[in-house]
Chain A
Amino acid sequence: MAPLSLFSVFVTFLLSLTPALSTNSEGNALHALRRRLSDPTNVLQSWDPTLVNPCTWFHVTCDSNNHVIRLDLGNSNVSGALGPELGELKHLQYLELYRNEIGGKIPEELGSLKNLVSMDLYENKFEGEIPKSLAKLKSLRFLRLNNNKLAGSIPRELTSLSNLKVFDVSNNNLCGTIPVDGPFATFPMERYLLPFSSLTLSSVNILPFYLHFMDY
C-alpha cells in the first residue's frame, strides 16, 4: 500500500509539474529582456507576450519544437542591460546582439545556454569581467566580445572550449596573459593577427588583445 501511495504522490507531483513545463518560459524570458531594453526604433514591437510562444516575434527563430534557437538583434539601436532570464533560452544557438548600446555585465547565466554556437556581443558597452561560466558552453564556436569595456583577465576556464573557432576580445580593458591551452594552443601564434598599433607595452600587463583564429 505504501509504495502505491508513494507512487501516486509521485504521479501527482509529475502532473503538477506539467503546466509549468508547458508554460511559455522562453517567451517570458525574452519579454523580460524587452522590458530591460530601450528600443527607440521599435525593433521589438512585435514581441507580444500574450502569444503562446515567441516564434512569430521578429528577430526570434524557433526550431520545429517551438524552442528559440536564434536571437538576431545585431545593429538594432537597443540599449540597456541583459538579465539573468536569458539563461532560460536553453535551446539558443545564436545570440547576435552585436553593434548596440547594451551595457552592464555579461550575465553569468549565459553559461547555461548549453547549445550556444555563437555569442556575438561585440561593439556594445559591456562592463565587468568575462564570466567564467561561459566555459560551460561546450558547443560554442564563435565568441566575439570585442569593442566593449570588459575588464579583468581572460578566464583560464575558457581553454576548455574545444570547439571554439573564433575568439575576439580586442579593444577592451582586459589584462593578464593570453591563455595558451585548449583551443588557444591549437593555433600557433603566427596564425593570430595581432594589431601592434593598439598594443601598448608601456603599461605592463594591460594587453588589449585580439585573437583571431583563422581556421574556420
Chain B
Amino acid sequence: MTRKGSLRFIAVTLTLFLCLLTTHPNFCTADSEVRCMESERHALLNFKQDLTDPSNRLASWAAAASDEDCCDWVGVVCHNRTGHVLKLRLRAFYPLYDELTTDDAQLDTQYEAYERSVLGGKINPSLLDLKHLIYLDLSYNDFGGAHIPKFLGSMGSLRYLNLSHARFGGLIPRQLGNLSNLHYLNLGDSNYYNDLYVENLQWLSGLPLLQHLDMSSANLSQVSDWLHDINKLPSLLELQLSYCYLSGFISPIPSSINFSSLTTLDLSYNSFENSSILFWVSGLHNLVSLDLSHNQFQGPIPVHLHNLTSLGHLDLSSNTFNSSIPNWLYSFSHLEFLNLRENNLQGTISSSIGNLTSVISLDLSTNEHEGKFPRSLGKLCKLRVIRLSDNKWSQEISEIFESLSGCVSNGLEILDLSNAQLSGQLTDELGQFKNLVILSLGNNSISGPIPWSIGNLSSLRSLKLETNQINGTLPPSFGHLSKLESLNIYSNMLEGVVSEVHFTNLMRLTKLVASQNRLTLEVSDNWNPPFQVNNLVLGSWILGPKFPSWLCSQEQLSILDISNTGILDAVPPSFWNLSSQLTYLNLSHNQIYGEIPNISMILSYSSIIDMSSNNFTGVLPCTSSNVGVLDLSDNSLSGSISHFLCYKMNESKRMSYLNLGRNLLSGEMADCWMMWQNLFTLNLGNNNLSGSIPTSIGYLIYLGSLHLYNNKFSGKLPSSLKNCTNLVTLDIGKNEFVGSIPSWIGHRFSSLVILSLHSNNFYGYIPEKLCSLTSLQILDLSNNKLFGSIPRCIDNFNAMATNNNSNGPLFLLEQSIGYGTSMLFETALLVIKGKVLEYSTILQFVKSIDLSKNNLSGKIPEEVTSLQGLQSLNLSFNILIGRIPDNIGVMGSLESIDFSANQLSGQIPQSMSSLTFLSQLNLSNNNLSGKIPSSSQLQSLNASCFIGNKLCGAPLIENCSIIDVKPNVENKRSKDFGRLEVDWFYVSMALGFVVGFWAVLGPLLFNKQWRIMYFQFLDHLGYKLWGVVAQTWLHCK
C-alpha cells in the first residue's frame, strides 16, 4: 500500500513537472506570432465588464484597441501554439504577516494596498467560452457573499480552481463534481470570512484526479459521512478541512483508506472530542503535515499517531490533551515544527527530546509541565523558535541559557519563557544569542541585574522582562540594540540613571513600557530622541522636576503615562498641541501647575485622560465629545462647571467616567445632562457646588456611581433621579439636602450596594420600602433628623446577611490600554472602627450599617441579628431603649459595634463573648448593668467602651461584688479553663458535711470504750422508743 502510494505520488509529480516544462517557456515568449482568439478576447472583456476593479488592475484588458492581443493582458496565459487562453491568474495579493520580519506599520500600508486591489462584482458566464481554460485563480478577491456560479461545473478542462479567500457564500454547487480533470480545488478561507456550506459531498466522487482539496471554513456539519466521500479521492495528497464544523461522529468508519498517499491533513478548528476516531489517520504513512489544533480532543496524545514517523509538521495545540508527552513522539526525527501549546500536558520533559534533531520550532507553552527543562535541548541545533511560556518549570534561568549555549545559540530567533516560574539571575550568556529577534522573560521571579551583554543581541526587536525582580541599573549597552522596536521592563526593581546613551541607536523603538521602576531619566534640555514612540509608559520614573520637553518631539504618541514622576512644572504649550493623537494620557500624581487648555483637540475615539492629583488651577477645560474617561480630581480647579456641562450641547458625549472631585469648583449644576447619557461614573464630591440637583440628571440612565459627597447641594432629591435605575452607589452625604428619604429608592434602585445619605437634613421615618434593597451592603443614614423606630424588615438586606462575596470588585472602569489594563475601583469613605477610612479595591467585602446621630427610638429590633455578614453596626447617639439583642453573638463578622449614647438597659448579653473578631466596641453612656461578659476579646478592649453605665468587671476597675456574679456561661466551644470559677457556697456545704460527719464518727472509730457506750445508748434508745410506740398502739385500739 505504502509503496504503491508513493509510486503514484512520484508519477503524479512527474506528470505535473512535465506539463510545466512543456508549457512554461511559451508563456514568456512575448513576440509570439500566435494571437488570442477573438471569441476568447470577447469573453474576457465580458467577464471584466461584470467585475468591479477599484484599483484598475485590469487596465490592460482594453476593449478599445481591437488588435490588442489578449494574451498580453495581466493575468492571462495563452497556449503558445494554439493561442487559446489556458490560465487566468487574478489573485489579489494579501499581505502575509510574519512575526519575525513584518513591520507593523508596513503591514498596515500593505493591507490598505491589498484592500484597494481586490476585484468584486459578478462572474460572467462568458468564461464558458474559454473552452481550453485549465487554470482559474480568483483567490483573495471579494465577491461579497455571492454564490459560486454553477456554470463553473461546465468548464470541463479545468485542472486548477482556486476560489479561496474570495468571500463566496451559500451552497457549494454540486456541479463542481463534473470537473473530472480537476487536480486542485481550493474553496477555503483561513480567515473564516467565507459563508459556504454543503449538504453532501457525494459530488466529490466525480473528481478522481483531485490531489488538493481545501474547503476550510465551509460548513460541513450536515455531512455525516464526509470521510466516506473523501475516501473516493484516491489521488488526494493534501486535505484541508479546517473550521468545517466537523464533530466526532463518523459512521461508519471506512475499513480501508484509499487516499493513503496523503501528505497534508488539516482538521484544525473543528469540534472533535474523542481521539479514537483518529485511528484511520494511523494508516497515512506518508503524512508530512498534520494539524489537529483547536479541537476538543481529550485524554492522552493519541497513540494512533505513533507510526507517522515521516511527520515534519505536527500541530496539536489548543485541545485538552492531558497526558505527558509520549516517548514515541521524541523519535520523530523528521519533525521540524511541533506545536503542543494550550493543552493540559503534564509531567516533566524527557531528555529524549534531544532526539528531535530536525526540530526548528518547538512550542510547549500554556501547559502544566513541571520540573527542569532537559539540557538535551542544547542538542537541537536547528532550533529557531522555542516557546515554553506558561508552565511550571521552576528552574533557574541561567540553567536554560547554559543548556542553549551550544549550537542552538546561533540560530535561535524566538525565545519565549514568560510566566514559567523561572528564578535566578540573567547571566552574561544572554549575549550569545546573536540572532535573537524576540526574547520574552516576563512574569517570572528573575532577579539580579540586566547583564551588559544584552547589547550584543543585535537582531533583537522585542524584549520583554516585565514583572520580575530585576534590579540594578539599565546597562548603557541597551543603546546598541539598533533593531529594538519594543521594550517592556514594567514592574521590576530597576533604579539608577537612564541617559541619552541608553537610546543612542534605538531608532526603531516604538514601544517603551517601563513604569513601576525607580529609574531616573537624565537627558539634556534639548535632547532630540532618535526614536518616535507610540507607547511611552514611564510611570513612577523620576523625570522631574522639569517637564520633559523632549516629549514634544514625539509625534506618533498614542499612549503616554508619566504619572508619579516628580514633575513640578507647567506643561509647555506645544505639548497640548501634540496630544491630539493620544488615546491614553496619564499625567496624574505630579505637581504640575498652570491652567489646562480646552482639550478639544484630543480626537481619538474614547480616549482616556487622567490628570488627577496635580496642582492644576483655573477653570475647567472643555473637552472633545470623544473623550471617554476624564479624571481631573484632586487639583485646584475653580469656577463653575456649567460651561463644561453645556459645551457643544448638540453632540452626544462619549464620556463614561467623569471625576472632578476634590477641587474648588463652585456654583450650581447646570441642567445640561441631556447629552451625557453614556456616563457610568460621576464624581463631583469634595467641591463647593450648591443648589439643587437638576432634573436632567434623570437622563443618565446608565449611571452606576454617583458621588456628590461634601458639597453644599440643597433641596429635595429630584424625582427624575428615579430613572437612574442602574445605580450601584449613591453617595450624597455631607450636603444640605432636605425632605424625607424617598421611598422609591427601595424599588427603583434594585442594584444599589452603597447608600450614603449621612450628614444632611433628611427628616422623618426610615421608609420600610428601603428594605427591598437586597443587594445593599453599606447603609449610612447617620447625622440626619430621622425619627421613629428602626424598621424590623432590615433582615431583608440579604447581602448583609451572608458572608459570601460572590461579587467581584466594584469596578468603575476596566479598560485595556495597549500595554495593560487600567482599572478604577469604586471608592467610599466609611467610618468603621471609629476611623474614617477610604475603601476601594476591597469595598465589595464591606457590610456596614450606620444610623447614628438621629432621633431613632424604640428597641433595637431582634431582626438585626440576621445580618450575620455585617462588619460594623453603629446605632450611637439615638434614643434607643430596651436590651441589646440576646443573640447578638451570632453576628460573627462584627468587628465594630457602637451603641453608645442611647438608653439601653439590662445586661450585656453573654453571647457577646463569642464575637471573636470584635475589635471596636462602644457601649458607653447607656443604662446597662451587671458584669461584663468575659472573653479574650472583650477584656482586650478599652475600659472607656463601657463607662457611663452600671457595669462591673474587667476591663473596668470596678469589681463585681459576690451577689452580682452570675455563674459564668462561657461560650460552649471554649475549652479554656481560664474562667473556671468556684462557687464558695457549695464548697462550704461540702466542707461542713465532711467536718460534721467525721467529728461524730471519728472518735467512735478510734476509742473502743466510747464505741461501746454509743451503741449501748442506741440500744437503750431503741427499747424506749419501741415501748412508746407499743403503748400508743394499744391505747388506740
Contacts and interface: CB of A to CB of B under 8 A. Distances in A.
B258 to A, nearest CB: 60
A183 interface: no
Given A142-B940, A195-B977, A210-B977, A56 B839 contact: yes
Interface centre among A45, A73, A117 (most CB of B within 10 A): A45
Contact of B841 (A48, A73, A170): A48
A118 B940 contact: yes
Interface residues of B, number: 31
A95 to B, nearest CB: 10
Given A56-B838, A72-B916, A98 B975 contact: no
Contact of A56 (B837, B917, B976, B977): B837
Interface string A154-183: 000000000000101010000000000000
A25 B480 CA distance: 39
Contact of B916 (A41, A75, A146, A166): A75
Interface string B933-948: 0001101100000000
B980 interface: yes
B919 A61 contact: yes
Nearest to A51: B841
A51 B919 contact: no
B940 A61 contact: no
Nearest to B838: A56
B962 to A, nearest CB: 14
B973 interface: yes
B954 interface: yes
Contact of B919 (A19, A46, A70): A70
A58 B977 contact: no
Nearest to B953: A216
Contacts of A212: 977-978
B525 to A, nearest CB: 24
A48 B842 contact: yes
B936 A46 contact: no
B805 interface: yes
A61 B939 CA distance: 16
Contacts of A41: 803
A210 B975 CA distance: 13
A8 B976 CA distance: 59
A19 B495 CA distance: 13
A125 interface: no
B873 to A, nearest CB: 15
A127 interface: no
A209 to B, nearest CB: 12
Contacts of A75: 916, 973
Contact of B895 (A45, A50, A72, A120): A72
Nearest to B841: A48
Nearest to B809: A48
A189 B982 CA distance: 16
A120 B976 CA distance: 12
Given A61-B919, A122-B976, A170-B977, A94 B940 contact: yes
| A-side interface size class | 35 or more
Contacts of B939: 142, 216
Contacts of B840: 51
B937 A96 contact: yes
A5 to B, nearest CB: 21
Given A55-B837, A72-B895, A123-B975, A46 B842 contact: yes
Contacts of B918: 72
Contact of B975 (A64, A144, A147): A147
A146 B975 CA distance: 10
Given A193-B980, A216-B954, A144 B936 contact: yes
Contact of B845 (A58, A142, A144, A147): A58
A31 interface: no
B456 to A, nearest CB: 33
Interface string A46-60: 101011000111110
A64 B835 contact: yes
Contacts of B980: 193, 195
Contacts of A67: none
Contacts of A48: 841-842
Contacts of B805: 42, 45
B681 interface: no
Contacts, number: 92
A50 B841 CA distance: 9
A92 to B, nearest CB: 12
A170 B980 CA distance: 13
Contacts of A91: none
Contacts of A45: 805, 842, 845
Contacts of A50: 841
B920 interface: yes
Interface in B835-864: 835, 837-842, 845
B833 interface: yes
Contact of B835 (A55, A70, A73, A210): A55
A70 B921 CA distance: 14
A59 B940 contact: no
A150 B81 CA distance: 104
Given A55-B835, A117-B940, A72 B975 contact: no
A55 B916 CA distance: 19
Interface in B973-1032: 973, 975-978, 980, 982
B912 to A, nearest CB: 14
A210 B839 CA distance: 44
Contacts of A147: 975-976
Given A94-B940, A96-B937, A147-B975, A76 B916 contact: yes
Interface in A85-137: 94, 96, 98-99, 117-118, 120, 122-123
Interface string B862-880: 0000000001000000000
B835 A59 contact: no
Interface string B882-920: 000000000000010000000000000000000011111
B842 A56 contact: yes
A62 interface: yes
A96 B940 CA distance: 10
Nearest to A147: B975
Contacts of B976: 122-123, 144, 146-147
Which of B837, B841, B917, B920 is packed against the most chain A CB atoms within 10 Å?
B917
Contacts of B975: 123, 147
Contacts of B936: 74, 96, 98, 118, 120, 142, 144
Nearest to A59: B917
A57 B842 contact: yes
A82 to B, nearest CB: 18
Given A45-B805, A56-B842, A62 B835 contact: yes
A125 B980 CA distance: 23
A124 to B, nearest CB: 12
A123 B973 CA distance: 11
Nearest to A216: B954
Contacts of B973: 75, 99
B954 to A, nearest CB: 6
Given A48-B842, A72-B895, A99-B973, A166 B978 contact: yes
Nearest to A63: B835
Interface string B573-586: 00000000000000
A51 B839 CA distance: 9
A213 to B, nearest CB: 10
Interface string A18-47: 010000000000000000000001100110
A32 to B, nearest CB: 15
19 contacts: A19-B518, A42-B805, A45-B842, A55-B837, A56-B842, A64-B835, A72-B895, A72-B919, A74-B936, A75-B916, A75-B973, A94-B940, A96-B916, A98-B916, A99-B916, A123-B975, A123-B976, A142-B936, A216-B939
Ranked 3 nearest A-B pairs via Cβ: A74-B916, A75-B916, A46-B842
Given A61-B920, A170-B977, 13 more contacts: A55-B835, A58-B917, A59-B895, A59-B919, A61-B833, A74-B937, A99-B916, A99-B973, A117-B940, A118-B936, A122-B976, A144-B978, A210-B977
